Amino acid sequence: MKADCGLLINLEGDCDTVLRIAAENETFAVSFAELISGTQNGFFPFAYKLMDLFPASKIVRSALLSAASHQFGAVVNLDPYQKVLTDIEAEKSNPATPSRFVPWLEEVKQRIQEELRPWRSMDSGEEFLGWD
């Protein structure tokens, strides 16, 4: 469903409308978080606002973490992951980024790096056995 619908949500142009609907309840917030991707323009500002709507919700944070770190599609393409990693570094150095979200950004970065590790091992000719 994400691949079919997620990129139809314009996180920059429709942010206020989506957040107004998401604010109605946590289920709506999680549903929107599950439909978007960290590669979309406006993802991080949208994610911060959604987390601000439900500051105590671990499920909203988790859904956004997954949205930021998991890309859809069956073909292995590392470019979207690299884009999100680059965006994370830009967000961390941006003075407008609320400091309370920097640990979450670090968590997203760590998750992506963990997901990329097997692919990077393949590129380097090493065999990845699933442990260090």
| Burial of 116 from C-beta contacts in 10 A (0-12 / 13-18 / 19+) | middle
Are the C-beta atoms of residues 105 and 93 closer than 8 Å to each other?
no
What residue spans define the domains of the chain?
2-123
Per-residue pLDDT band for 81 (boundaries 50, 70, 90) equals confident
User: In the structure, what pLDDT confidence band is assigned to residue 46 with cuts at 50, 70 and 90?
Assistant: very high
Taking only Cα atoms into account, the Rg of the chain, rounded to an integer number of angstroms, comes to 15
Query: Are 11 and 41 in contact, with CB atoms under 8 Å apart?
Result: yes
Mean pLDDT, range 54-64, rounded to an integer: 96
pLDDT above 50 for 128: no
Summary mean pLDDT of the chain: 84
